[in-house]
Structure 1
Amino acid sequence: MLYNAYELQRTMMNGAAAWASVGAEMLTNPAMPMGYFGFGPIMASALDVFAHATMARGKPDFDIEEVEVDGKTHGVTESIILHRPFGNLLRFSHDGLPANAPKLLIVAPMSGHFATLLRGTVARMLQSCEVYITDWADAKIVPTSAGRFDLDDYIDYLIDFLRHIGPGTHMLAVCQPSVPAFAAAAVMGKHEDPCRPVTLTMMGGPIDTREAPTSVNDVAMNQPLSWFENNVIATVPLTYPGAGRRVYPGFLQLAGFMAMNLGNHMISHYGMFKHLVEGDEDGAAATKAFYDEYRSVCDLTAEFYLQTVEHVFQRHSLPNGEFVHRGEVIDLAGIRDTALLAVEGEKDDISGIGQTKAALHLAHKLPDDQKKYFLADGVGHYGIFNGSKWRNLIAPVLEDWIRQHQKKPLKIVA
């Protein structure tokens, strides 16, 4: 009933948003005198903000058409190089890259948002790397005939993607996928897989959430797993290809994140309203662009979400040495030559300081000169991978780390 109730509410809100948009356009039409005085601009701006906040959104496009390198502009090519039911492997490149440019696999979060949330991450790293990214599917459009998708499958996908790209690949995990990416590196390292990542960078990841717990961690710890299964898991309705699949709906995750910082979101929308009243379309456009992406959400499979809550946030299975993949306990001692970079934000309210850094201690067989920690001053969770501080402060550290290890030989199994 939860999903059906949401669909009914969404249908009604779509109608209201359409009428609000029409009203805003009428009031701002040059032929309408109300748009020039009195409450006309205020009403038009209020209707515009309401329409934007309530309109339905689908999966956004990456829309990275060009990149500038050393003052020269290069056209970007985007392609799907590997298709899987629960996620594709995308490749971004341009003709300005040298033949020996580093290959970087960016692992996008499967946490309610599409991979396009990392558009800024891809665009920045594309300046120096051939970039690949995991483009996870919206669970509600994956037919039940495709089967389950859980943490084991997530790790398998990463291993398959790395093998498809080939030896010498670097990997960057942003937030939630730091755990399965760390696990995949350990599994591949233990078996001396020639396609194991040369470097693994983890940014704002919940490797050990016992370090500086945040409100997100508290929510996961304060309720038993059964509470999440009974209260946030829903069944996809018949209107979608994935009808009958049990999921954690994206709209619930978005509601949770919005509620965590409700005051800030209200201030942002009020700021957009003021820009519109003043006729500052450019000022309002930045806020609109952010929320166009932020409000575009997708569903997660129930098994993946519940396993993540249980093993990452409640049992701390990976740091406790109890994380199992395909029936085998993951041994972090398998990471012996994949160089690790841990990046954290000083003001991160999702993954607290120390949670990602814990990976450096857990990889106890990796030499110290193969480990690096970087704390970004004044940076929140979103700023770790997007915005000016990501582009100018964090990305150069990552590029330098990749450059240091680009030619490092890995042991090849005969």
Structure 2
Amino acid sequence: MLLAYGMFEGARMMMAPARLAVDITRHSMQSPANPLAYSPYARSIAAGCEMFERVTRRYGKPAFGFTHTVVEGQKVQVTERVVSERPFCRLVAFDRAFLTPPTEPQPKLLIVAPMSGHYATLLRGTVEAMLPNHQVFVTDWTDARMVPLLSGPFDLDSYIDYLRDMFAELGPDLHVMAVCQPAVPVMAAVALMEAEDEPHVPSSMTLMGGPIDTRRSPTAVNCLAQERGQKWFEKNTISLVPPIYPGALRRVYPGFLQLSGFMAMNLDRHVTAHTDMFAHLVKGDGDSAEKHREFYDEYLAVMDLTAEYYLQTVETVFVNHDLPRGRMTSRGVRVDPAAIRRCAILAVEGENDDISGVGQTKAALDLTPNLPASRKAYHLQEGVGHYGVFNGSRYRAVIAPRIASFIREMGTGAKQSRPAYLRSVG
């Protein structure tokens, strides 16, 4: 399996002539100089060429692309700024140029993007919904194939170290939102900081569809990890980065393998979506085709994960359940969720989540007996799956406002807020 990456790249290079020929054909079928350009025949040929090009393309990292947001009725400019940079992550801020200072407080919010195959831009909608009321930062993880071996390894302990450094860097009164996979390292980082009585413990953490305890309502993904074990994944998913990339010879879980897994989970849905796009192109329905392009340009853009991080996560989170069983360690130090006494917790779950089952994220509330009930909250969103927990209409209309309300209620870490709802269904 170590040579699979090289075989993949070799096959991609062999496809280059076919891709060039298809591209020339598509442009000729769409050229105004071609008298057949507007005929159903030409549109069908052009549509088939575009589908071939998209299926065989390697998608690059998308941009967030924010230019403006609306704060208290005023349209303000948004610009990206790199706050700090580490080998495997950039800490990015979204600065807003206010014409007049907002009347309401704008809490600092760090959105920790999942390092699970997709780029941080998958959270574009998540970030966009929080921009009007928060000073937003996001973890922009780096594709492992672009990180030279000299930069060293990156595992789950490194992930926790990065988070602790960022929490301290962004100072006091910080609020954290962990989307899916980072729920475990975020909770671990907070627990370690609380145990050491560090001053920059976040005021609150919102855990969204995260695998805190995958023994609860186990999904197909959880069961697969439990059945196969860490050794199987090491043997069947780990490969070496080819010499054509800066991270040459680094052991990784390649993005193209992850993508095949993502697609296989809902293959019929993806086939139908591409069939529909072909029909839209033939009919000349540009708007519908563009919506398809926007979604799949994001969904098909994947990044490699370091082998040590991926395998340690599989073993710690999905096979051994170390955090809920009180056996998780980081750099030899035990991670004790019971040490959390100041950082408020909001657990958010989706009723139809097929990645992190209902109850897995809520477990965080049960693992923190020394955190006052007034600083715990839970929200179960009806009618949404995993993606809907952090994106889409119900996220914008219900979940994002609930998170913003929770952040306002919790204030600083030392402040004891009025009792929060322990369960809400919306």
Q: Scaled by the length of structure 2, what TM-score is found? A: 0.93
d(CA) in 1 for partners of 2:16, 2:120: 25
**Cα pair 2:254 2:304 within 8 Å, conserved:** yes
Structure 2 counterpart of 1:9, from 11, 23, 36: 11
For 2:36, what is the secondary structure of its paired residue? helix
Aligned counterpart, 2:239 = 234
SS of residue matched to 1:224 = helix
| Whole-Å separation in 1 of the counterparts to 2:23 and 2:131 | 37
Q: 1:41 aligns with which of 26, 40, 43?
A: 43
Structure 1 range deviating more: 303-312 or 14-23: 14-23
Mapped pair 1:21 → 2:23: yes
User: 1: CA distance between counterparts of 2:162 and 2:343?
Assistant: 19
203-212 or 65-74: which moved more?
A: 65-74
CA distance in 1 between counterparts of 2:156 and 2:413 reads: 30
> Residue 14 of structure 1 contacts residue 55 of structure 1 at CA under 8 Å; is this kept in 2?
no
Match of 2:266 among 258, 261, 265: 261
Q: 1:169 — aligned with what?
A: 174
Aligned partner of 2:128 among 105, 123, 129: 123
**Partner in structure 1 of residue 420 of structure 2:** none
Partners of 1:205 and 1:356 within 8 A in 2: yes
Q: Which residue of 2 aligns with 1:402?
A: 407
Alignment of 1:155-166 (within 5 A): 155-166=160-171
Alignment of 1:213-292 (within 5 A): 213-292=218-297
Q: Which position in structure 2 is the counterpart of 1:68?
A: 70
Report 1:194-209 matches (<5 A): 194-209=199-214
Task: State the one-letter code of the partner of 1:249.
Answer: P
Alignment partner of 1:90 is 2:92 = yes
- Structure-2 change in CA distance of 1:345 and 1:18 (3 Å): farther
After TM superposition, give the deviation of residue 38 of structure 1 in Å: 4.3
Match of 2:157 in 1: 152
Q: Is the 8 A contact 1:16 1:51 kept in 2?
A: no
> Are residues 1:212 and 2:242 paired?
no
Amino acid at match of 1:201: T
Maintained 8 Å contact 2:348/2:362: yes
Summarize the Cα distance change of 1:366–1:21 in structure 2 as closer, same or farther, 3 Å threshold.
same
Structure 2: distance between partners of 1:112 and 1:148: 18
After superposition, residues 258-407 of structure 1 pair within 5 angstroms as 258-407=263-412
Task: Give the share of equivalent positions with the same residue, in percent.
Answer: 51
Q: Residue 50 of structure 1 corresponds to which residue in structure 2?
A: 52
Distance 1:64 1:21 in 2: 30
Structure 1: distance between partners of 2:391 and 2:78:
19
Kindly tell me: are residues 265 and 358 of structure 1, through their superposed partners in 2, closer, same or farther at Cα, counting changes over 3 Å?
Answer: same
One-letter code aligned to 1:11: M
What letter corresponds to residue 187 of structure 1 in structure 2? L
**1:198 counterpart letter in structure 2:** S
1:178 aligns with 2:180: no
Moved over 4 A (4+): none
Give the letter aligned to residue 285 of structure 2.
Answer: D
* Number of equivalences: 411
Q: Structure 1, residues 93-117: CA drift from partner, whole Å, max 9, x if none?
A: 2023649410001101111111111
Q: Deviations over 1:118-156 (max 9, x none)?
A: 111111111111111111111111111111111111001
Structure 1 residue 377 displacement after superposition: 1.2
Instruction: Return 5+ residue gaps in structure 2 as ranges.
Output: 417-426
Contact 2:179 2:390 in 1 (8 A): yes
Is contact 2:204-2:413 (8 Å) kept? no
Match of 1:103 among 95, 105, 108: 108
Single out whichever of 248-257 and 224-233 deviates more from structure 2: 224-233
TM-score for both structures, normalised by structure 1: 0.96
| Two-structure CA RMSD over aligned residues (Å) | 1.6
- When structure 1 is superposed on structure 2, of 142-151 and 7-16 the one drifting more is 7-16
Greater mean alpha carbon deviation, residues 7-16 or residues 227-236? 7-16
Cα contact 2:109–2:137 (8 A) shared by 1: yes
Partner-residue secondary structure (3-state), 1:67: strand
1:330 CA displacement: 0.6
1:270-325 deviation per Cα after TM superposition (whole angstroms, max 9, x unaligned): 12112111111111111111111111111111110000110100000000000001
Paired residues of 1:235 and 1:247 also in contact (CA < 8 A): yes
Unaligned ranges ≥5, structure 1: none
The Cα offsets for residues 321-368 of structure 1, whole Å up to 9 and x where unpaired, read as 000011011111111111100111111111111111111111111111
- Say whether the 8 Å CA contact 1:52–1:288 is kept in structure 2: no
Contact 1:93-1:126 at 8 Å conserved across structures:
no
Q: How far apart, CA to CA, are the structure 1 residues paired with 2:85 and 2:403?
A: 28
Q: Secondary structure at the match of 1:88?
A: strand
Q: Which residue of 2 aligns with 1:79?
A: 81
Moved more, 28-37 or 349-358: 28-37
Taking the aligned partners of 1:22 and 1:205, their CA distance within structure 2 comes to 46
Q: Secondary structure at the match of 2:207?
A: strand
CA–CA distance in structure 2, aligned partners of residues 12 and 410 of structure 1: 62
- Structure 1 residues 214 and 279: CA distance shift in structure 2, 3 A: same
2:146 is matched with 141
Contact in 2 for aligned 1:171/1:201 (Cα 8 Å): yes
Letter in 2 for 1:80: V
Task: Report the 3-state secondary structure (helix = DSSP H, G, I; strand = E; otherwise coil) of the residue aligned with 2:348.
Answer: strand
Contact residue 211 and residue 352 of structure 1 kept, 8 A: yes
Partner amino acid for 1:393? V
Q: Is the 8 A contact 2:205 2:343 kept in 1?
A: yes
Farther off after superposition, 225-234 or 7-16: 7-16
Letter in 1 for 2:314: V
Matched residue SS, 1:50:
helix
